[in-house]
């Protein structure tokens, strides 16, 4: 009888924990990475727009279910590679800090990056390396 009680205890506590995602505590939020800057580019970072990268196998609907809020009306663009279904990220407009905090607390989020729009202002020449320093040929 004790063994049966122990088995039921494990079943009814472990299975719901496995199936249910919980949010990270506020102190463990994913950081917001700055946009990738390069001296050859002019960069505009639209306010309150972020690229959200999800862990492999995690979907946008999983993400919204975990945070308990459907923010799909805020998505500006989504990238879901048809060749590799594990590759998912999306661009979202989040002016409310509490929504951004919810997104950053989801353990299924791999990376949060400030959105950026890039425009080339000069092309590197053959004599220049990536950082714009002259290289002897």
Task: Establish if 136 belongs to a structural domain.
Answer: no
Q: Is residue 63 part of a domain?
A: yes
Q: What is the mean pLDDT of residues 28-57?
A: 84
- Confidence grade of residue 137 (pLDDT, cut at 50, 70, 90): very low
Is residue 19 very low, low, confident or very high in pLDDT (cuts 50, 70, 90)? very low
133 vs 95, more confident: 95
* pLDDT given at position 119: 76
Q: Establish if 133 belongs to a structural domain.
A: no
Burial of 102 (0-12, 13-18, 19+ CB in 10 A): buried
Domain-located, residue 130:
no
Per-residue pLDDT averaged across 74-82, rounded? 78
Residue 137 lies in a domain: no
Q: What pLDDT shows up at residue 116?
A: 84
Residue 99, domain member (yes or no) = yes
Residue 104 clears pLDDT 90, i.e. is over it: yes
Q: What is the CATH number of the domain that holds 44?
A: 3.30.70.80
Beta strand 41-44 with 117-120 is antiparallel
* Residue 126, in any domain of the structure: no
- Specify the range with the lowest mean pLDDT, choosing from 8-17, 23-32, 97-106: 8-17
Quote the tokens at residue 32.
């917001």
Q: Is residue 33 part of a domain?
A: yes
Q: In angstroms, how far is CA 4 from the centroid of its own chain? A: 43
* Contact between 109 and 51 (Cβ < 8 Å): no
Q: In total, how many domains does the chain have?
A: 1
pTM: 0.67
88 pLDDT band (50/70/90 cuts)? confident
Residue 112 near residue 52 (C-beta atoms within 8 A): yes
Residues of the domain holding 103 = 2-120
């Amino acid at each position: 009888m004790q063994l049966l009680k122990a088995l039921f205890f494990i079943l009814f506590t472990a299975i719901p924990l496995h199936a249910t995602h919980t949010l990270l505590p506020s102190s463990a939020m994913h950081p917001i990475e700055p946009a990738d800057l390069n001296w050859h580019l002019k960069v505009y970072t639209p306010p309150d727009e972020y690229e959200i990268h999800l862990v492999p196998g995690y979907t946008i609907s999983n993400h919204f279910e975990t945070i308990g809020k459907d923010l799909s009306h805020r998505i500006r663009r989504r990238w879901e590679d048809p060749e590799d279904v594990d590759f998912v990220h999306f661009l979202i407009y989040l002016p409310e800090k509490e929504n951004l905090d919810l997104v950053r607390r989801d353990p299924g989020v791999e990376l949060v990056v400030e959105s950026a729009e890039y425009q080339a202002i000069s092309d590197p020449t053959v004599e220049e390396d990536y950082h714009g320093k002259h290289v002897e040929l």
